[in-house]
Amino acid sequence: MSLIEIRKRSLTIETIYHEGGPVAATPLRMATACAVIKNPYAGRYEADLIPFMTELRTLGTDLASELVETLGRNNIEVYSKGAIVGVNGELEHGAVWHEAGGWAMRTVLDEPKAMVPSSKAVAAAGYRLMVPVHYIHASYVRSHYNSMEIGIQDAPRPNELLFALVMGTGGRVHSRLGGLSREGVSVHDGQR
């Protein structure tokens, strides 16, 4: 029997043309794919969360594939993940998404080396969570530090979990603060 019972999914796409300066030659596209599922451990302590985490890889792959299809595999430059746990759950129920969501994105994107940033919270339905993103091949590319809001108006309900993956096509529009550039990545260790 599956531990994953999906109530709903969402796909949100933002297209950013400018941030008050000139219109970008190529607009930045950011997208988040979310799934709201029943929390199989709501209201009780479960010592072994590994089977749930492992099974969530399938959901992660579905969400990551949807983002790649939406944005185009060769266009993706940033990524992240996030989880919002309904109030009858615990933060660790959201932490299972670290491995499951991160593994899924790395697999679908042909194994980029940078860590997948994340954020999580225990909260009521309608909570909005800011999720940090950065460059998929090197975490210290300053131009690509950004964030995207995740959330769904009626989720997560107290016995639910909201899991999200985020991908985008580039760095911040009008980035001009120096530091390591995407073109300057040379070490290929996922950091520099």
Are 137 and 185 in contact, with CB atoms under 8 Å apart?
Answer: yes
Q: Predicted confidence band at 145 (pLDDT cuts at 50, 70, 90)?
A: very high
Instruction: Report how far apart, in Å, the C-alpha atoms of 191 and of each of 58, 77, 112, 141, 166 are.
Output: 27, 14, 11, 8, 19
pLDDT at 24: 94
> What's phi and psi for 21, nearest 5 deg?
-100, -155
Short-list 108, 166, 175, CA closest to 141? 175
pLDDT at residue 1 tops 80: no
- 50-71 and 91-108 helices cross at what angle (nearest 10)? 50
Q: How do the domains of the chain map onto residue ranges?
A: 6-184
Mean pLDDT, all residues of the chain: 96
pTM of the model: 0.96
- Residue 20 and residue 38: Cα distance in Å, rounded? 41
pLDDT at 62: 98
Strands (E) across 17-128 are located at 28-38, 78-85, 118-122
Class of domain 6-184: alpha beta
- Residue 104 and residue 176: Cα distance in Å, rounded? 32
